[in-house]
Structure 1
């Protein structure tokens, strides 16, 4: 009963994927559920969380529309303008499959942008609506997210891709380690075991990623750690079955209950997913 807590779909002709330059030519094509379904079925994945990849309301509406004919999607993390009228946008997007929002913080030059009073007010409205914030961050944001959690303890925050550690050999560095430890002290913050193949680059393996995994597991525990594929971005560095197999090897010492949490239970609970995939 595996849940993939982080994957993407896109349709190129919508024209809002501005990050798709020649460096990602291999995945610069329409990516739709029909391409993921056989991979998920073979892997034993029974549901996914579809996450936005463009900073537009149209992107969120596109993902929510896919839910109608895609039982595999159990929830959507979309995008809204956190500096605008958040309640009005959430009313426009009203949909039972919307589970959270994701500002693309890694692409915003101002590291502390998310601490702006208007953004904090927007996130307070997100929390009041029962939604979460996915944090697409790099190590420069770790202190910022620590401060945000202090400002808004009612906001559930899910850190994507283990905050994208910068690898030097197999050690992501003390600043990342210390920052992850600080974030884990906030009970409303959880973390995704995703994106590490791309961050490490060529040569990634269970042995290469073990120190990073051990640290996030030690900090968050399986009850606040969830596996995600980051497919199809994953295809720039590997493939779906290899990443799942690597993650399962990393988790081999865990108990069956802990593995069930990391590969499904945590995502179901923290995203409040419907395990039966009832569609509107």
Structure 2
């Protein structure tokens, strides 16, 4: 069994941090701990995991990052940030000083399109290479063109496109997604993350519904520019972590062992410097 590096693990600790987007009725309300994740993940071949910020309240960003980096089973973290703010350079200094921070992310799929298109936003992201940090790009499928514009403005920044670039897509009617992904893949500083699509497919998902998204991402970006993420626990909106690992392994089973290893662990170790 080829080992897996999970580049997109969310942990939720409502007793420690505030999550404005998680109401009491939200399907992800409650505790999602490292212990419960590892009980399912380890038997699946997941040997290392990167924590992905969970859009905590702005005042909790640094505390969340600091806390998860001390959890057994977390190999590193992608921290939240606010590049739209003038004081971002100071925030960047503090986050970069935490051993184990491997990249940053600013949630864009619920933000106005204009947020990521300002000169200040791009100027601040262009600071990341000086700290050896990546930027995870999380945009809705209909925001792919503005994501492309941002990546073009920051040619020295290493980007990772989250969730196949299919955030909130109708999996049966993807619209211009295929063409937009093809265009994005021409940018050499952009990588793609195979994650998220099970949640969008919902409980009626099948491997054959997921396959075109994974295969198109790999076809466009190639085996050297793709990584894998569980998106746990968001994945549970469509299935289980076990389901997603199994579906991924089935979809890529026709590739060579070397190609599968690049997707499942090798590229993640290189891109996130694990």
TM-score normalised to the size of structure 1? 0.90
The equivalent of 1:49 in structure 2 is: 50
The number of residues matched between the two structures is: 268
Structure 1 runs of 4+ with >3 Å offset: none
Contact 1:86-1:126 at 8 Å conserved across structures:
no
Structure 1 residues 98, 195: closer, same or farther in 2, change over 3 A? Answer: same
Are 1:186 and 2:206 counterparts? no
Q: Hey, what does 2:133 align to over in structure 1?
A: 131
Task: For structure 1, list consecutive stretches of 5 or more residues without a partner in the other structure.
Answer: 274-280
Counterpart selection for 1:100 from 95, 99, 103: 103
Q: Distance in 1 between matches of 2:242 and 2:227?
A: 17
Contact 2:164–2:195 under 8 Å retained in 1: yes
On the 8 A contact 1:7/1:232 being kept in 2, the answer is yes
d(CA) in 1 for partners of 2:151, 2:113: 15
Separation in 2, partners of 1:184, 1:191: 8
Render the CA deviation track for 1:125-176: whole Å, top value 9, x for unaligned: 223221111111112221112111221100111111011252353x523x11
**Given that residues 86 and 125 in structure 1 are in contact (C-alpha distance below 8 angstroms), is that contact kept between their aligned partners in structure 2?**
no
Q: Contact conserved, 1:231 with 1:240, CA < 8 A, in 2?
A: yes
Q: How has the CA–CA distance of structure 1 residues 168 and 51 changed in structure 2, closer, same or farther, with 3 Å as cutoff?
A: closer
Q: Is 1:106–1:137's contact at 8 Å kept on the other side of the alignment?
A: yes
Q: Does 258-267 or 85-94 show the bigger shift?
A: 85-94
8 Å contact kept, 1:172–1:212 = no
SS of residue paired to 1:154: coil
Distance in 1 of aligned mates of 2:203 and 2:35: 28
Name the SS of the counterpart of 1:107 in structure 2: coil
- Counterpart for residue 61 of structure 2: 59
- Secondary structure of the residue aligned to 2:49 is strand
1:211-241: CA deviation from partner (whole Å, max 9, x where unpaired):
1112111001121111111001111221111
Query: Measured at CA, do residues 191 and 168 of structure 1 come closer, stay the same or move farther in structure 2, by a change above 3 Å?
Result: closer
Deviation at 1:68, TM superposition (A): 2.3
Contact 1:160 1:192 in 2 (8 A): yes
Q: Secondary structure at the match of 2:43?
A: helix
CA distance in 2 between counterparts of 1:197 and 1:168 reads 9
Instruction: Report which stretch shifted further, 133-142 or 79-88.
Output: 79-88
Q: Deviations over 1:7-50 (max 9, x none)?
A: 1012113453111135633x211222111111121111110110
Spell out the pairing of 1:117-266 with structure 2 (5 A cutoff).
117-164=119-166, 166-167=169-170, 169=172, 172-173=174-175, 175-266=176-267
* Unaligned 5+ runs, structure 2: none
Normalised to the residue count of structure 2, the TM-score between the two structures is 0.92
